[in-house]
Structure 1
Amino acid sequence: MCARQAAKRAHCPYSNLHVGAAVRCADGSVIDGCNVENASYRLSICAKRVALFTAISQGKRLIELAVSCIDATGDAAASRIPHAVRRLPSGDAGTAAKQGRGEHRWCGNKAT
């Protein structure tokens, strides 16, 4: 639910894909983020990285990552994220599970 709410805040004038992400942390907190696009593509940032990097910068231990693309017609929300999650210092998340159209969740080392 938090990922879907965050997707509504996305700034995506180029892709028109509203993506939100939410990280559940070991202390019970939830950190969310949305995609922010820029005319200079390299300055854009995806929702998953916003949520993950914000959690890491706050010293949180990651438990779970949920992603939602409210405009998805396929797997638009899932690109490159399993690799990014595995490379984070506190990333216990490892496996992707498709939750529904445009929604994914990473948790532990098992799909949920």
Structure 2
Amino acid sequence: MVRDASRLGDLFGVPGVVVPHLVLEEVDYFVEQAKRFIGHWGYEGLKTDGQHLNSVAPCYNPKHRHARPQESTESVALFWKAIHEAAHEAKSDALVELCPCGTR
């Protein structure tokens, strides 16, 4: 994970934490966070706000086990879909908003 708030924005209110390479364990972590916020803590929904939320670089790290470097980029929509589904699993009428605010 990359932690540089000046370049990458915020995810779930944690400054500068983004999932640039969509490693399964990292996706699972954020899915569990969504379930925790809504299911356990009683939030009505999630608003994810920050720049570059759809920007994912190709991953060349062999430890991440991608079939090809572009797989991480192509899978970003699946990450947000997993968050959306987790939120609605916890609360069927949860509001889920993704706002790339601050983009230029």
For the superposition of Structure 1 and Structure 2, which TM-score range results when normalised by the shorter chain?
0.3 to 0.5
Higher RCO (CA-CA < 8 Å; seq separation 6+): 2
More strand by percentage: 1
Rg (Cα) greater in structure: 2
TM-score of the superposed pair, with normalisation by structure 2: 0.40
